[in-house]
Amino acid sequence: MKTHLIHVITLNSVKIGEADRLLDLFSYRHGRLLCTARGASRMKNRFAEASEPISEAKFWVSFKEGRMSVVAKEGVIVDPFRKIHSDFFKLNLAFFISEIVRFFFKRNDPAPSFWIFLRKFLKNMEDEINPLLFAFFFIKTLQHNGLLDKICHICGFEIDESAVCEKGGFAHKGCSVGGFYVDKAVLNPIFYLTSIKQEKIRTVRLAHDIEKKVAGIMYKMLLMHIDKPLKTAKFWEDYIRNQR
């Protein structure tokens, strides 16, 4: 078996046996990987810290031919996102983000551009959280998976000033087969956010009620593509419900 160095964001970690951990990793080059971290539960060093969920790390792993999982015997922490881990509220919201990534990104399907986006998103979460930041994450997740565009996913023509959200994306109201209506005041910010880079999101300021509407609509659209309840959804739903 060959040993490879992989750069990852640890999405989830579960203890198995007395000393090992089963990790769900989102790697830059290989996409999501299931990894067994030998001895990570008992080691009081950087390997144990790197195995913690919601952290950026590097692992030396062995790939087994014909298998979807890898084995790690050593790892080092790159960024533990300490400001997230020290804030219970932020940490629960980060677990919510992790669960969405685990649903939309399949194993062994590389997505390097989204990996970079996710790392920057978590860094932004350390400094500030607001409804628009999460709306931006929902939009970019759907967009990366080909579920969001400025054209009607039914007739193929450009969306006008009104639109309906559906499972396949946006559609003209007349083409809709059962989605929910999005008014112009919300549609315009959504289409704007599809075109900007993450570095700019912190400078965008909208009316608070518009930010909440954009976040709420994109979350509803995200749920159209998820066929099982999100275990961590209540953390984000409580957060958005308590926004004033």
> What pLDDT digit, counting tens, does each position of 165-216 carry?
998 899 998 899 888 999 988 999 999 999 998 888 888 988 989 999 999 9
For residue 70, what is the domain's CATH number?
2.40.50.140
Q: Tell me: do 134 and 77 sit in the same domain.
A: no
Q: What is the DSSP letter of 64?
A: P
Q: Tell me: do 61 and 135 sit in the same domain.
A: no
37 CB-near residues (< 8 Å, 6+ apart): 13, 20, 21, 22, 23, 47, 51, 59, 72, 75
Q: Tell me: do 55 and 148 sit in the same domain.
A: no
213 CB-near residues (< 8 Å, 6+ apart): 185, 186
**93 belongs to a structural domain:** no
Q: Answer whether 0.85 is exceeded by the pTM.
A: yes
First CA to last CA across the chain, in angstroms?
A: 55
**11 belongs to a structural domain:** yes
Q: Tell me: do 157 and 215 sit in the same domain.
A: yes
Residue with tokens 């959200």: 165
**225 belongs to a structural domain:** yes
The answer to whether residue 1 scores a pLDDT higher than 70 is no
Q: Tell me: do 77 and 137 sit in the same domain.
A: no
State the pLDDT at residue 45. Answer: 65
**88 belongs to a structural domain:** no
The answer to whether residue 80 scores a pLDDT higher than 90 is yes
**87 belongs to a structural domain:** no
CA 104 to chain centre: 8
**CA 206 to CA 236: how far, in whole Å?**
20
Calculate mean pLDDT across residues 146-174. Answer: 90
Calculate mean pLDDT across residues 8-17. Answer: 92
**CA 79 to CA 81: how far, in whole Å?**
6
**109 belongs to a structural domain:** no
Q: Tell me: do 134 and 226 sit in the same domain.
A: yes
Tally of CB atoms within 10 A around 91: 18
Calculate mean pLDDT across residues 59-79. Answer: 79
Q: Tell me: do 137 and 237 sit in the same domain.
A: yes
Q: Tell me: do 65 and 135 sit in the same domain.
A: no
The answer to whether residue 227 scores a pLDDT higher than 80 is yes
Q: Tell me: do 141 and 226 sit in the same domain.
A: yes
Q: Tell me: do 147 and 222 sit in the same domain.
A: yes
Contact by Cβ (8 Å): 32, 102: yes
**105 belongs to a structural domain:** no
CA 16 to chain centre: 25
Q: What's the domain count of the chain?
A: 2
The domain containing residue 48 runs over which residues?
3-81
Contact by Cβ (8 Å): 47, 14: no
Q: What is the DSSP letter of 159?
A: P
Calculate mean pLDDT across residues 143-162. Answer: 89
Contact by Cβ (8 Å): 125, 93: yes
Contact by Cβ (8 Å): 243, 131: yes
**212 belongs to a structural domain:** yes
Q: Tell me: do 234 and 149 sit in the same domain.
A: yes
Q: Tell me: do 134 and 212 sit in the same domain.
A: yes
* Identity of residue 227: D
